[in-house]
Amino acid sequence: MYYYIYDIFTASKKYQHQILKIEGLLAELGIAGKSFKLNVLKNLEDIIEEALASEIQNIIAVGNDQTVSKIANLIVGKNIVMGIIPVGEPNILANALGIKSAEEAVSIVSARNVLKLDVGKINEGYFILAVESNDRNAIFDFKDYNINALASNEALGVYNININSDEFQSDPGDGIMEAVFKPKKISWFGKLFKKSSPEESSGTSIFPVKKMTVRHKKKPINITIDRQRVLKTPLEIEVLPKKLKMIVGKKRVFE
């Protein structure tokens, strides 16, 4: 049995044709289930509680990254599988999972290739992709030692899934996340004429993470969660291994 949860914005006329097409494809493949159209009177928490009480096996998020995040935060650690049919923008998570369009998503939901993914716990919430910042006042506290961002660092983050096409491996099923410090990019012209210090010439630094704290040097800094919401330091981060069951496509960015 499938529960399909449509985010509020999908009721817009802009998406009417696409939604009708999605529902037609679901019916054709024999996987049409119970649909819930979120609105001011339809509470997401109540729908999830009903699904869990009824032992529903599959919840499909119809919407964008925010839709997925809201649902995922309510089912982490629960015995239920989550799928995505991307509608609207952004859809970074769907793309990372190998789901490139709504039409393709219907076939992927039907195939139901399920993986158990790690989840990042951050204070009282969760993240699936990454936490990121470009503020060099950040301190990564690994309990036994600290790492401060350098003046040469352009960005930093903790990644469950590598969504930047950077040259590091990130497996959301290995129980480990990657803390990453990225240097500023220097053009070939700049490299030719600028004498760099050892700090400036160093490459991307990567550290394995299971549990850590993100602190700040002087005043609280903004940390972006899954490229959606923003929290301020200090933040406690912990890897929760294989706590989210998700339907994935073959062209995902990890094995």
Give the pLDDT confidence of 179-203 residue by residue, as tens digits.
999 886 644 444 444 444 444 445 7
* Tokens matching residue 198: 């050892």
| Helix axis angle, 102-111 to 16-28, nearest 10° | 30
The residue type found at 1 is M
* Tokens matching residue 87: 């509608």
**How far is 39 from 52, CA to CA, in rounded Å?**
21
| Confidence at residue 189, expressed as pLDDT on a 0 to 100 scale | 42
pLDDT of 58 strictly over 70: yes
In a 13 Å sphere around the CA of 97, the CA atoms on its Cβ side amount to 30
CB–CB of 179/211 below 8 Å? no
Q: Which fold has domain 2-112?
A: Rossmann fold (3.40.50)
Give exposure, 165-176, as e/b (b: 16+ Cβ within 10 Å): ebeeebbbeeee
Which helix (H) or strand (E) is 187 found in, with range?
none
Sign of CA dihedral 71, 76, 80, 84: positive
If 0-12 CB within 10 Å is exposed, 13-18 middle and 19+ buried, where does residue 188 land? exposed
pLDDT of 94 strictly over 90: yes
Q: Domain locations in the chain?
A: 2-112, 125-240
N residues, the chain: 255
Task: List pLDDT tens digits, range 101-140.
Answer: 999 999 999 999 999 999 999 999 999 999 999 998 999 9
Q: Whole-prediction pTM value?
A: 0.89
* Tokens matching residue 43: 């509470």
| Confidence at residue 184, expressed as pLDDT on a 0 to 100 scale | 67
Q: Which residue has the higher pLDDT, 166 or 245?
A: 245
| Confidence at residue 193, expressed as pLDDT on a 0 to 100 scale | 45
* CA distances (Å), origin 31, targets 67, 107, 234: 21, 10, 44
pLDDT of 79 strictly over 70: yes
**How far is 150 from 20, CA to CA, in rounded Å?**
51
| pLDDT-wise least confident of 63-72, 188-197, 232-241 | 188-197
Share of the chain above pLDDT 70, in %: 93
* Tokens matching residue 38: 């979120």
pLDDT of 87 strictly over 90: yes
Mean pLDDT calculated for residue range 223-241: 96
Mean pLDDT computed over every residue of the chain: 90
For the domain covering 125-240, report its CATH number.
2.60.200.40
110 CA to centre of own chain = 22
* Tokens matching residue 214: 């993100």
| Confidence at residue 185, expressed as pLDDT on a 0 to 100 scale | 60
125-240 and 2-112 share a CATH fold = no
